Amino acid sequence: MNKLFLAAIKEETIGLDYFNHTGVGKINATYNTLKLINIYEPKIIINYGTGGAVNNQLKGIVECTKFYQRDMDVRGLGFKLGETPFDKIKEIIISQNGHSCGTGDSFVNKKIDMKVDVVDMEAYAIAKVCMLENIEFRCFKYISDNADENANIDWNKNLILGANAFSKFINDNSL
C-alpha cells in the first residue's frame, strides 16, 4: 500500500526520516498535502503530530477520527461554531471509534468554546483534502500538553517524547 506520512514540522518527527512536512496551520497543511499527493499518489495518508488535550484524561498517542474547524466562527450569522458557511462538509467523521480533534490557526493555552478531545493546527485540513481526493486518512496525536496556561512549556519539552512514542507505536501496530 502506498503510504504518505505527514507531520507539520521536523521538530515533531526527530528520528523519523519517513515523514514529509506540511508546515504549521491549515493553509500550509492544505497546500503542501495537495503537492505531496500529486508527487506520491498515496492510497493512505497518516498524519502524526502533537496535540493539546482538552479532555485531560488523554495521555500518550491517541487516534483522532472526528475533525472540526475550531476557529471557523460565524455564529453572528446564525451558523454553528466550526461550521463553514455554504460548505456541504460540516464535519469530518471517519469513525466513531476515536477522539475528536478541533483544528485551528492558533495555539491553545486556555479554555475554548468547542467541545473536542484534542486541539491541533493541521488535522482538519489534511482530513478534508483526503476526503475530497478519496484517500484513506488516519490521524495520530501525541498529547504534548493540556491546552492550558502551561501549554507552551509542556509542548516544547514533549516534542522528542512524542516522536519516540510514535516510533514505538508504529512498530507495535504495523502502520
* CATH number, position 32: 3.40.50.1580
Note the pLDDT of residue 175: 76
Note the pLDDT of residue 107: 96
Note the pLDDT of residue 161: 96
DSSP category for residue 130 = H
Note the pLDDT of residue 30: 98
Note the pLDDT of residue 4: 98
Note the pLDDT of residue 1: 61
Note the pLDDT of residue 52: 98
Residue 112, helix vs strand vs coil: coil
Contact, 52 vs 87, CB < 8 A?
A: no
How many domains does the chain fold into? Answer: 1
Contact, 53 vs 143, CB < 8 A?
A: yes
Rounding to the nearest 10 degrees, give the CA dihedral for residues 59, 62, 68, 70.
Answer: 20
Note the pLDDT of residue 174: 79
Residue 113, helix vs strand vs coil: coil
Low-confidence ranges of the chain (pLDDT < 70): 1
* Domain that residue 80 falls in: 3-173
First to last CA, the chain: 10
